[in-house]
Chains A and B, each alone.
Chain A
Amino acid sequence: MTDVHLDPRPATGARARPEAPRAPRWKRRKSDGPIAFAYLAPALLVLVGLMGYPIYQLVLISLFDYGQEQVSGGAPLVFLGLDNYTRLLGDPKFWTVLAQTVGFAAVCVVGTLLVGAALAVLATRVRTWARMTLFLAALGAWATPTVAGSTIWLFLFDANFGFVNELLGTTGFSWTYDRWTAFGLVAAEVVWCSFPFVMVTLYAGIKSIPGEVLEAAALDGASTFRTARSVILPLLRPLLVVVTIQSIIWDFKVFTQIYIMTNGGGIAGRNLVLNVYAYQQAFAASEYGLGATIGVVMTVLLLLITLGYLRALRKSGEEL
Chain B
Amino acid sequence: MRRGVVEGVTVLIAGVVAFPLYWMVLTALKPADEVISANPRPWTLTPTFDSFVRALTVQSFGRYLVNSLVVALAVVLLSLLISFLAATALTRFRFRSRTTLLVMLLVVQMVPVEALTIPLFFVMQSVRDVAPAFGLNHLGSLVLVHLAFSLPFAIWMLRGFVAAVPVELEEAATLDGASRVRFLWQVLFPLVAPGLVATSVLSFIHAWNDFLFAKTFIISAAENQTLPLALQVFVKPDQNDWGAIMAGSTLMTVPVLVFFVVVQRRLVAGLAGAVKS
Q: Is B49 an interface residue (CB 8 A)?
A: no
Assign chain B's interface to a size class: 35 or more
Determine if A156 and B275 form an interchain contact, defined as CB atoms under 8 angstroms apart.
no
Q: Are A126 and B3 in contact (CB under 8 A)?
A: yes
Our pick among B242, B248, B268 for the contact of A161 (Cβ within 8 Å) is B242
Within the complex, the shortest CB–CB distance from B273 to chain A, in Å, comes to: 9
CB closest residue in chain A, given B179: A8
Contacts of A123 in B (CB 8 A): 10
Q: What chain B residues lie within 8 Å of A298 (beta carbons)?
A: 112, 115
Question: CA separation between A146 and B242, bound complex, in Å?
Answer: 17
**Residue in contact with B114 in the complex, picked from A37, A57, A152, A279, CB distance below 8 Å:** A279
B225 at the interface (CB under 8 A from A): no
- In the complex, 25 of the A-B residue pairs with CB atoms within 8 angstroms, ordered by the A residue number, are A8-B180, A15-B92, A18-B94, A32-B94, A39-B89, A46-B148, A49-B123, A58-B119, A126-B10, A130-B7, A134-B11, A141-B20, A141-B21, A143-B257, A144-B21, A144-B256, A145-B208, A145-B253, A153-B20, A155-B245, A249-B112, A259-B212, A275-B115, A295-B118, A302-B112
CB of A143 within 8 A of CB of B116, answer no
Are B246 and A146 in contact, CB atoms less than 8 angstroms apart?
no
A166 touches B40 (CB 8 A): yes
Residue B67 at the chain A interface, CB threshold 8 Å: no
B122 within 8 A of A: yes
Contacts of A134 in B (CB 8 A): 10-11, 13-14, 17
B252 and A147 contacting across the interface, CB-CB below 8 Å = yes
A126-B6, A292-B119 in contact; A15/B94 too (CB < 8 A)?
Answer: yes
Task: Report A279-301 residues with CB < 8 Å from chain B CB.
Answer: 279, 282-283, 288, 291-292, 294-296, 298-299
Contact with A along B171-194 (1 / 0, CB 8 A): 100100001100000000000000
Taking a contact as CB atoms under 8 Å apart, the answer to whether B180 and A204 are in contact is no
Q: B60-74, CB under 8 A of A: which get 1 and which 0? A: 000000000000000
Alpha-carbon distance between A49 and B88 when the two chains are bound, in angstroms:
22
Beyond A39-B93, A140-B17, A255-B114, 4 additional pairs, beta carbon < 8 A: A16-B170, A145-B256, A152-B249, A192-B20
- In the complex the two chains form, is B231's CB within 8 Å of A148's CB? yes
Q: Which residues of A contact B (CB under 8 A)?
A: 5, 8-9, 12-13, 15-19, 21, 26, 29, 31-33, 35-37, 39-40, 42-43, 46-47, 49-51, 53-55, 57-58, 61, 119, 122-123, 125-127, 130-131, 133-149, 151-153, 155-156, 158, 160-163, 166, 171, 192, 200-201, 203-205, 207-208, 239, 242, 249, 252-253, 255-256, 259-260, 275, 278-279, 282-283, 288, 291-292, 294-296, 298-299, 302-303, 306
Q: How far is the CA of A35 from the CA of B148 in the complex (A)?
A: 22
Residues of A within 8 A of B147 (CB): 46, 50
Q: How many Å from the CB of B27 to the closest CB on chain A?
A: 7
0/1 interface trace, chain B 181-220, chain A, CB 8 Å (1 if under): 0000000000000000000000001001101100010000
Question: B123 to A31, Cβ gap below 8 A?
Answer: no
Beta-carbon contact of B275 and A242 below 8 Å = yes
Within 8 Å of chain A (Cβ to Cβ): is B51?
A: no
Q: Which residues of B contact A275 (CB under 8 A)?
A: 112, 114-115
Q: Would A278 and B209 count as touching, CB distance under 8 A?
A: no
Contacts of A282 in B (CB 8 A): 117-118
Q: Note all chain B residues with C-beta closer than 8 A to A291.
A: 118
Q: Are A36 and B145 closer than 8 Å at their CB atoms?
A: no
CB of A262 to closest CB in B, whole Å: 13
Which residues on the A side are within 8 Å of B257 (C-beta)? Answer: 139-140, 143-144
Contacts A57-B122, A259-B211 hold; do A303 and B110 have CB atoms under 8 A apart? yes
| CB-nearest residue of chain A to B257 | A143
B249-A43 in contact (CB<8A): no
CA distance A168 to B148 in the complex (A): 45
Q: Which residue of A lies closest to B36 (CB)?
A: A161
**Residue B137 is within 8 A (CB to CB) of chain A in the complex:** no
Q: Which residues of B contact A205 (CB under 8 A)?
A: 272, 275
A299-B115 contact in complex given A139-B261, A147-B232, A163-B40, C-beta closer than 8 Å: yes
For A160, give its contact among B6, B38, B149, B261 (CB under 8 Å).
B38
Q: Which residues of A contact B83 (CB under 8 A)?
A: 43
Q: A145-B209, A161-B242, A192-B20 are in contact. Are A54 and B256 (CB under 8 A)?
A: no
Q: CA A8 – CA B208 in complex, angstroms?
A: 41
Question: In the complex, which of the residues B10, B17, B94 contacts A31, with contact meaning CB atoms closer than 8 Å?
Answer: B94
Bound state CA distance, A313 and B95, in angstroms? 30
Known: A139-B261, A143-B260. A53 touches B123 (CB 8 A): yes
